[in-house]
A and B are shown apart, each in its own frame.
Chain A
């Protein structure tokens, strides 16, 4: 096992992909000379040159679309979009083209494109750099949506994404980049089909992903001090969802709290909750509880942003509700 940061893990995955597969190239805003807005691709330009570590103009629609075209043309592009808020400028290419081309061509063409982007709040960046819009992508058939929450997944989900024949979107919560963790350098591409139990427990199930996993684990630790044993599940793959792991946990705990940094209305927690109702209604002793972001454009002031985001204490309160 090697200790590294989440940022270093993504970089190691990129370096490996660029080294081992000549079809792979990285493109996006400031990925090259600047070294990446989050310093993820630092040093890769020097190692692989400007053709394969390609700085783009501020043209999200064109360079995401060019990624689709390059994938159709036989390459394995990795496109970095600086943040999920910026990716909205490329939604036409993503929804109308990347997700649809395989189906509307009758299966003749597939689009093996990987798109990475930073997501999430907690950095006082206000209403245009802080949102968690993963669910907008998870809504769309034809694409796979991943949320690596651990350093190990940051290292090994990208190579797994590059093995897929269809578009894969990786959401990297921006507060995770400096996080340190253990990585098995020999592990190989991660499985993408299953959620993971990150902490075992018997009293309540807490479901989280991405940047909220750490918050959920902190809440579980606090609950342990109160004698409540919480099982924490990391969804990992947001589309397609692995509900089996959640239901297996519910069979034990019969209570569930869903932590979702996106807005509550029409969020992913709503989808998971609906599926639990459809497939696991009899398992529940209490209605599923949701801890989501407040329904506001993200405020700048620190205390207001904290009030808007899911926190360990709000998760603990929701758990107490299910145990009432």
Chain B
């Protein structure tokens, strides 16, 4: 095996590890939700892992990330400690947002993870502003803004794309098109369901990518990020599907079992595993090793959450504003 091939294999196995970390983390979160350890809303990323993993590979530590309420995959792929994420969902003070945010509002200043936003479309103007700050400060870096296809119906989507294009701001718009805004299918909510055309109408170059193919996502985000580093926004539609309901509260009545099963045949992890096996890059032992490591990491994350302290009630009013 050449050095390049070795590097390629190591990279592929790292992608697989991250995909599996998100999948198993989400499965554990669902289990803990049914046990009452996690409350509130819980939106799982299962089925969409290739989008977050592929995208984060193409970003640099100095880049900024703005995420949505379905933010576990983004946060894990960005490298935020799974223990601090699990603790956040427990509502513990050692959570990444000190238990103030929960599942929908992960933040991490160190990794420039500017938060999960739970008003659809509400993160886009913030991403535009982060990019504006970089422009005015003369810093060349990318602000990656995740949002779902449901956001395309919001005014803030259109206002933000226009501003980013008008001012040539370094925003990478990453539209995770999982076909459903909660229970409303794209073709039932958009007169023009080709989302690229909307970006193009603001003079932003746009392309659609198979969001079930982690390498395709990585390639597309890497080249999109290069355009953005050159000083202009770029739009990627990442075509994906969530295998689980919108949230734990969703009875999933608006789509057929057959449709879900059909999409599961394109499971991003199974597809990637099969591809690696076909190329001789993945053996049973490799997979078992990765699964064991991931399981240990998730056990450790749960232990961190279980052991974490509750924020004292006396601190209820702390950090509403900055102490003066």
Contact = CB atoms under 8 A, between A and B. Distances in A.
Interface of A: 25, 51-52, 56-57, 59, 61-75, 77, 92-93, 96-97, 101-110, 141-142, 144, 164-166
A93 B122 contact: yes
Given A69-B131, A70-B136, A109-B114, A59 B97 contact: no
B130 A106 contact: no
A89 to B, nearest CB: 8
A182 to B, nearest CB: 29
A141 B200 CA distance: 39
B99 to A, nearest CB: 7
Nearest to A74: B133
Given A65-B124, A66-B125, A104 B133 contact: no
A65 B131 CA distance: 12
Nearest to A79: B129
Given A68-B125, A108-B107, A144-B321, A57 B136 contact: no
19 contacts: A25-B136, A57-B166, A59-B159, A61-B159, A66-B129, A68-B129, A69-B126, A69-B133, A72-B114, A73-B130, A73-B132, A74-B137, A77-B129, A97-B117, A102-B319, A104-B100, A104-B107, A109-B107, A165-B322
Interface of B: 64, 95-101, 105, 107-109, 114-115, 117, 119, 122, 124-134, 136-137, 143, 155-156, 159-160, 162-163, 166, 318-322
Contact of B163 (A52, A66, A107): A66
Contact of A70 (B117, B130, B159, B166): B130
A104 B105 contact: yes
A65 B105 contact: no
Nearest to A143: B321
Tell me which of A103, A105, A166 has the highest count of chain B C-beta atoms within 10 A of its own C-beta.
Answer: A105
Nearest to B110: A108
Contacts of B159: 57, 59, 61-63
Nearest to A59: B159
A96 B125 contact: no
B220 to A, nearest CB: 24
Contacts of B136: 25, 51-52, 70, 75
Given A75-B136, A106-B100, A69 B320 contact: no
A65 B319 contact: no
Nearest to A77: B129
A108 B108 contact: yes
A72 to B, nearest CB: 6
Given A102-B321, A102-B322, A108 B97 contact: yes
Given A65-B125, A72-B114, A165-B322, A109 B132 contact: no
Given A93-B125, A101-B115, A104-B105, A70 B155 contact: no
Given A73-B134, A101-B115, A106 B126 contact: no
Given A57-B162, A97-B117, A105-B107, A75 B122 contact: no
Contacts of B132: 66, 69-70, 73, 75
